[in-house]
């Protein structure tokens, strides 16, 4: 009897050891993803909520920012692994130092979709700022020097034929500060995505005077980026992140841009986004703002290389980045389709 018991215990122990060997437990890779509280950052939010990142063995934590440049610094330092926002002077300078890479495209101006609006304060409008051509000698709100807002302001000046210095850019650091300054008339103009623009122009303090798409062709407004270390040493991690993100992009476009998703599924998508966008408002008020004027995100995070190059040349022309920065330093084109 004793011998049988020992044999049984031995077999159980061997079986347990075999099972443990055959089915190892592997924890998901933990990554931090930088986001801004904008509808255009929805694909990451959707991918996390719907389990697309989890399916790629990724455990995601979101880190919120209020401007593009600090996000780039956080990625370069390793505090954040991936981001999706506009190209800034800080990002390019970090790429020149070999610590950050653009790996994909995100929000892009396309002819068939309503895009970013150029806005004027009511005070400026009443004083004669009726179109972007009237911005000569006027102030224009930006977050930081070298931000996408700065780039857009100068592209307006270029096309309207006046010197870039004649549009007075005012760095205000954060989007809420720009909004407050525009509404109060402390700055004359600004440009922003349509859902925010629409909310502002519904009030008496702000007027739409133009469209960014009239001044910049096929503008790659935001890009996906990561550290150079991730891009070169953790390619599998980058590919898994982009796979999960791409599924979120497809759902975002179907729900909010193409409107090919059912209303029930779209409502669920909007509720997911609301956790991070307009979260200070009840869903019944935030929902329409989230839906309004959503712009297309490139499927598969495809990247417009021509647009990125145009932005890089602008930064160089303004002396905001070193002349020696090349596209090869800035962009890794190995992960997504390029255009």
- In the predicted model, is pLDDT for residue 178 greater than 50? yes
Q: What is the torsion angle, in degrees rounded to the nearest 10, for the CA atoms of residue 88, residue 52, residue 261 and residue 297?
A: 20
Q: How many domains does the chain have?
A: 2
Which residue range(s) make up the domain with 43?
A: 29-108+220-330
pLDDT of residue 310 exceeding 50, the answer is yes
Q: Is 319 found in the same domain as 236? A: yes
Answer yes or no: do 225 and 323 share one domain.
yes
State yes or no: pLDDT of 170 exceeds 70. yes
Q: Are 41 and 79 in a shared domain? A: yes
Closest by Cα among 288, 107, 282 to 212: 107
Residue 23 falls within a domain, yes or no? no
**Do the domain assignments include residue 337?**
no
pLDDT(329) > 90: yes
pLDDT of residue 293: 67
**Could you tell me whether strands 100-105 and 223-227 are parallel, antiparallel, or unpaired per DSSP bridges?**
antiparallel
Query: Is residue 182 in some structural domain?
Result: yes
Please report, rounded to a whole number, the percentage of residues in the chain having pLDDT higher than 90: 78
- The residue out of 214, 243, 264 marking a domain boundary is 214
Half-sphere exposure (CA, 13 Å, Cβ side) for 305? 13
How confident is the model over 282-301, as pLDDT tens digits?
Answer: 999 999 989 986 889 999 99
Is residue 184 a contact partner of residue 203, using CB atoms and an 8 Å limit?
Answer: no
**Better pLDDT: 91 or 299:** 299
In a domain, 12, yes or no: no
Residue 308 sits at φ, ψ, to 5 deg, of -60, -40
Q: Is residue 338 part of a domain?
A: no
Mean pLDDT of the chain: 91
Predicted confidence band of residue 194 (pLDDT cuts 50, 70, 90): confident
- The pLDDT value recorded for residue 276 is 96
Q: Does any domain span residue 157?
A: yes
In this structure, the answer to whether residues 179 and 231 fall within a common structural domain is no
At residue 328, the pLDDT reads 97
pLDDT of 271 > 60? The answer is yes
pLDDT tens-place string over residues 41-89:
999 999 999 999 999 999 999 999 988 888 999 999 999 999 998 888 8
Same domain, 188 and 324: no
Least reliable range by pLDDT among 85-99, 161-175, 221-235:
85-99
- Does residue 196 sit in the same domain as residue 249? no
């Amino acid at each position: 009897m004793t011998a049988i018991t020992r044999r049984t215990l031995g077999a159980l122990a061997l079986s347990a050891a075999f099972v443990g060997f055959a089915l190892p437990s592997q924890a998901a890779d933990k990554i931090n993803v930088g986001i801004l509280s904008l509808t255009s950052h929805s694909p990451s939010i959707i991918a996390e909520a719907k389990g697309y990142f989890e399916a790629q063995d990724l455990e995601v934590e979101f880190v919120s920012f209020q401007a593009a440049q600090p996000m780039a610094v956080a990625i370069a330092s390793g505090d954040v692994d991936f981001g999706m926002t506009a190209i800034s002077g800080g990002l390019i300078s970090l790429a020149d130092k070999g610590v950050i890479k653009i790996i994909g495209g995100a929000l892009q101006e396309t002819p068939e979709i309503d895009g970013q609006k150029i806005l004027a304060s009511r005070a400026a409008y009443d004083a004669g700022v009726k179109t972007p051509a009237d911005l000569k000698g006027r102030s224009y709100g930006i977050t930081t020097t070298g931000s996408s807002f700065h780039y857009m302001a100068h592209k307006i000046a270029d096309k309207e034929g006046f010197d870039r210095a004649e549009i007075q850019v005012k760095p205000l650091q954060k989007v809420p500060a720009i909004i407050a300054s525009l509404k109060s008339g402390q700055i004359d103009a600004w440009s922003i995505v349509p859902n925010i623009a629409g909310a502002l122009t519904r009030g008496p303090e702000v007027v739409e005077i133009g469209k960014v798409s009239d001044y910049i062709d096929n503008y790659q407004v935001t890009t996906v980026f990561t550290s150079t270390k991730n891009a070169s040493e953790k390619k599998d991690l980058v590919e898994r992140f982009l796979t999960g993100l791409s599924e979120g992009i497809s759902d975002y476009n179907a729900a909010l841009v193409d409107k090919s998703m059912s209303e029930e599924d779209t409502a669920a998508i909007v509720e997911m986004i609301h956790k991070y966008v307009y979260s200070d408002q009840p869903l019944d008020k935030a929902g329409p703002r989230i839906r309004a004027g959503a712009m297309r995100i490139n499927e598969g995070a495809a990247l417009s290389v021509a647009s990125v190059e145009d932005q890089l040349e602008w930064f160089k022309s303004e002396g905001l980045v070193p002349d020696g920065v090349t596209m090869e330093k800035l962009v890794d084109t190995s992960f997504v389709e390029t255009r």
